[in-house]
Structure 1
Amino acid sequence: MYGFGERKTPQPFVAACDKFIYTENLIHLHNPTAPVEADPKPKAAMAGAQLKADTALVNQLRNAVEAASDDDGWAALAAVGSIITKQRPDFDPRNYGYPKLSGLITATTLFEQDRRSPGDGKPAVIYIRDKRRRPAG
C-alpha cells in the first residue's frame, strides 16, 4: 500500500504503508499563472559531514548494504534501496536533498561504488560496498 501525506502524518499510518511519500517532497509542475515564489524549492543537499553525523542514517545505510551484500561485501544499490524502504517506508533521499539514492550514497563518502554493465545493451547496475570492509585475501 502506498501512502501520501504531510510530515505531520501519524507514525502508525506511515509504518503501515509499504511506501510512504511526504507531499513536501513532490515537485509540482510550474504553473505559469502562479507567482514564482509559490513554486516549491527542493531541499538543499546536506553536506557529507552532516550526513555522516546522522547516526540513524549511517546505520540504516550500512545495515542495508550488509543485508544485501554478497561474500565480497558488494550489494546492488537497488537491493539496498528495497531493504531500506521495507524497514522505513518514509525513507526518501529527497529528505536529505538528493533526488536519488545513488547521490545520497556518494555524498556520504562511506561506500565504494562500482558500475557494472550486464551487457546486451542493458543499463549499468550500481554496486556499493562499505569502505570499512577489506577485500578477502
Structure 2
Amino acid sequence: MQSDFKLAVLIDGDNIPSAYVKEMMEEIAKYGNPTIKRIYGDWTIPTVAKWKNVLLENAINPVQQYAYTTGKNSTDSAMIIDAMDILYSGKVDGFCLVSSDSDFTRLATRLREAGMKVIGIGEKKTPEPFIVACDKFIYIEILKNRAKENETSSTSNKTSRKNDYDKITPKVVKLISSTISDLADDDGWAFLGDVGSLLQKKQPNFDSRNYGFEKLTPLINSIGKFEIEQRDSYKGKFKLIYVRNRKK
C-alpha cells in the first residue's frame, strides 16, 4: 500500500452487490489510502437496505440520492458531480470508481485527463468502454472467489472453484507473448515487472487472479510456452524474474 497516495472511493450503491465490501476495501487498500469513501443510492428503497449493515463497519459515508424521475439515474449524476468537486479540491491523487455501469466511462476518461489514477471495480458484465477508460479494472468475481477460499480449504471445494475462473485462451497467450516481445532484449528476455505493467496498460482488466493465480509468474509458468529465469539483483539483495518466449 502507498500510504501517501490518497484515493477517493465512490461507490454506485444501485449497481454493486453489498456482499463483498470487506474484500473490496482490502483490495483498494493495496493501491493507496482511501481518505474519502462515499456510497450513493436511494436509501429509502428496500433494494439497497442490505448496504446499511456494512457501511459503519467500513466507515463508508452514505449519500442519499432520491430517484426524482423514472428512467433517470440520479445516483450517476450525484457521483459525477461529487467526483469533479473532489478533483478540483486537490485533496486526492486518484479515484476508485465502483460500478458496473458504462455511464461512468466519460468520468473515468476526464479524471485521467486531469492526471488522476483511476481504478475501476465492477462485475464481469461491465461494458468494455468503462473498463478501458480506467488505468486498472478489477472484477468483483475475484473478490468473491477470495471470500470463498477464506471460508474453506477442502480439496473438493478447491476443485469446484476452478469453474469460477476464466480459461486461458489462445488470445490471452498471444497477448502475453506479444508483450514479452515488445520489451525483450537482444536475447529475447524481458523483466517480468515491466511485462506486468505493459499488460495492464494494454488491457486494464488483465489480472492473473482472473485465471486462478495469485501472481503473474505461476500463470505464465502454467502455460508452458515461456521460459522463466531468476537473476540476482544489484548487490544480490533479492531475485529478479525474467521471461521470454520459448523458442519453437
Identify the TM-score tier after normalising by the shorter chain.
0.7 to 0.9
Q: Which has the higher contact order (CA 8 A, sep 6+)?
A: 1
Output one character per residue of 1:10-46: Cα deviation in whole Å (capped at 9) or x when no partner. Answer: 1110010010000111234999xxxx57xxx79529x
> Which SS does the other structure have where 2:186 is aligned?
coil
**What CA RMSD, in Å, does the superposition of the two structures yield over aligned residues?**
2.6
Is 1:12 the counterpart of 2:94 in the alignment? no
Given that 1:43 and 1:95 are in contact with CA atoms closer than 8 Å, whether structure 2 keeps it comes out as: no
Identity %: 42
Secondary structure, counterpart of 1:44 in structure 2 = helix
Q: Secondary structure at the match of 1:91?
A: coil
> Structure 1 length as normaliser, TM-score?
0.77
Matched, 1:112 2:230: no
- The equivalent of 2:180 in structure 1 is 65
Aligned residue for 2:244?
Answer: 129
1:97 Cα deviation (Å)? 1.0
Instruction: Structure 1: state its 5+ residue gaps.
Output: none
Distance in 2 between the 1:43 and 1:12 partners?
29
Cα contact 1:111–1:128 (8 A) shared by 2: yes
Structure 1 counterpart of 2:162? 44
Q: Return the alpha-carbon distance in structure 2 between the equivalents of residues 120 and 72 of structure 1.
A: 23
Quote the residue 2:208 is aligned against. Answer: 93
Misfit runs of 4+, over 6 Å: none
Gap change, CA 1:127 and 1:43, over 3 Å in 2: farther
1:25 equivalent in alignment to 2:142: yes
What is the TM-score with the length of structure 2 in the denominator? 0.44
- For 1:43 and 1:88, how far apart are their aligned partners in 2? 25
Q: Structure 2 counterpart of 1:22, which letter? A: Y
Secondary structure at 2:227's aligned position in 1? strand
Flag the structure with larger Rg.
2
Aligned residues: 121
C-alpha separation in 1, matches of 2:119 and 2:217? 22
Aligned-residue offset at 1:94: 1.1
Give, as a single letter, the amino acid of the residue that structure 1 aligns with 2:121: F
State how far apart, in whole Å, the 1-side matches of 2:176 and 2:129 are. Answer: 23
After superposition, the Cα gap between the structure-2 partners of 1:96 and 1:30, relative to the gap in structure 1 and judged at 3 Å, is closer
Matched, 1:56 2:163: no
